[in-house]
């Protein structure tokens, strides 16, 4: 078993374990920290696949910006006080059962398909490097790139309008 396989299994266990801890930990702050662990494990998978640009973007955007935003909102709300909702035990049970059924059905449907034996290129190949991706992004996909900037502008304006205090109500 080579070092690539060992790293793959280590990162897989790390990602799945952190993902399970996200949904089973009681404290929302702990959930967010475990989700950051999951994102780092997924970035490790990207590095293993030699998609280095996406690994760096994943760390910067997800583990950096988005998770800090989540953490900031949770700390702003002061959720640790009380308000533990009355939880229906059967509802949680049914959720786990239906999620497990989804896992079972997808696995059973996919496990005998022909492509499953195809190899994945690991540790080599230059399609994930920033030179190649930058050439494609700014030549063939320059219009979607510019449209996404408009999307960001509208998201920023929308977030500010939604988050603004309603002045008509208080007066």
Partner 1 sequence: MTIQHYIFLAVALFSIGVIGVLTRRNIIIIFMCIELMLNAVNLLLVAFSKMHSLAATAADAASKAGTEGQIFVFFIMVVAAAEVSVGLAIIVMMYRNTHSVDVNFLNRLKH
53: its two tokens: 């640009």
67: its two tokens: 């998770």
**Near partner 1 in 101-120, by CB under 8 A:** 102-103, 106-107, 110-111, 115-120
Smallest distance, partner 1 to C-beta of residue 82, A: 11
Backbone angles phi, psi at 87, to 5 degrees: -100, 130
- Give the single-character DSSP code of 50: T
**Near partner 1 in 124-163, by CB under 8 A:** 125, 127-128, 132-133, 136-137, 141, 144, 148, 151-152, 154-156, 158-160, 162-163
Smallest distance, partner 1 to C-beta of residue 167, A: 13
Q: Element (H or E) spanning 40, and its range? A: helix 28-48
**Near partner 1 in 13-72, by CB under 8 A:** 15-16, 19-20, 22-23, 28, 31-32, 35, 38-39, 42, 45-46, 49-51, 53-54, 57-58, 61-62, 65-66, 69-70
Closest CA to 38 of 71, 61, 62, 57: 62
**How many other β-carbons are positioned within 10 Å of the β-carbon of residue 129?**
13
């Amino acid at each position: 078993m080579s070092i690539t396989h060992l790293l793959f299994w280590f990162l897989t266990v790390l990602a799945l374990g952190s993902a399970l801890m996200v949904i089973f930990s009681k404290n929302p702050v702990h959930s967010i920290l475990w989700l950051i662990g999951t994102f780092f494990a997924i970035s490790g998978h990207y590095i293993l696949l030699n998609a280095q640009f996406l690994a760096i973007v994943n760390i910067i955007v997800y583990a950096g910006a988005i998770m800090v935003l989540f953490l900031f909102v949770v700390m702003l709300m002061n959720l640790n006080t009380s308000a533990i909702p009355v939880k229906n035990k059967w509802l949680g049970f049914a959720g786990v059962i239906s999620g497990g059924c989804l896992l079972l059905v997808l696995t059973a449907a996919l496990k005998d398909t022909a492509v499953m034996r195809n190899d994945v290129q690991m540790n080599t190949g230059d399609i994930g490097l920033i030179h190649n991706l930058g050439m494609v992004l700014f030549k063939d996909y320059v219009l979607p790139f510019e449209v996404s900037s408009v999307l960001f502008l509208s998201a920023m304006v929308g977030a500010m309008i939604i988050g603004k205090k309603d002045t008509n109500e208080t007066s």
